Structure 1
Amino acid sequence: MTAPRVPLAGGAAVAPCRVYDVALLDLDGVVYVGPEAVPGVPGALAAARAAGMRLGFVTNNASRTPEEVAAHLTDLAVPAGPPDVITSSQAAATVVAQRLGAGARVLPVGGPGVAAALRAAGLAVVSRAEEQPRAVVQGYGRDVGWTELAEAVVAVRNGAEHVATNADATIPSAHGPLPGNGALVGVVSGVTGRPPLVTGKPDPAMHAECVRRTGARRPLVVGDRLDTDVEGGRRAAAATLLVLSGVTNPATLLAAGPARRPDLLAPDAGGLLTTHPPVTAEDGGWRCGGWVARVGGGAADGALRLGRDAAGAAADADGLDGLRAMCVAHWARHPGAAAPAPVAAADEAAAAVLRRWGLGG
Structure 2
Amino acid sequence: MPSSYDIPAVQTAAVVPESGGTIQVKADHPVPTQEQLAPNECLVKMHCTGVCHTDLHAALGDWPVAAKIPLIGGHEGVGEIVAIGAHTIDSPVKVGDRVGIKWLADSCLNCEACRKGREQNCDQAKLSGFTVDGTFSEYVVSYVRHVTPIPEGFDSNAAASILCAGVTVYRALKYSQTSPGDWVVLPGAGGGLGHLAVQYAKYMGLRVIAIDTGASKKKLVEELGADHWIDFKESKDIVAEIKSVTGGAGAHSAVVTAASASGYQQAIEYLRTGGTLMAVGLPGDATLNASIFFTVFKSISILGSYVGNRQDAREAIDIAARGGVKCHFQVRGLGDLEE
TM range (shorter): 0.3 to 0.5
- Higher share in helix: 1
TM-score by length of 2: 0.35
- Higher share in strand: 2
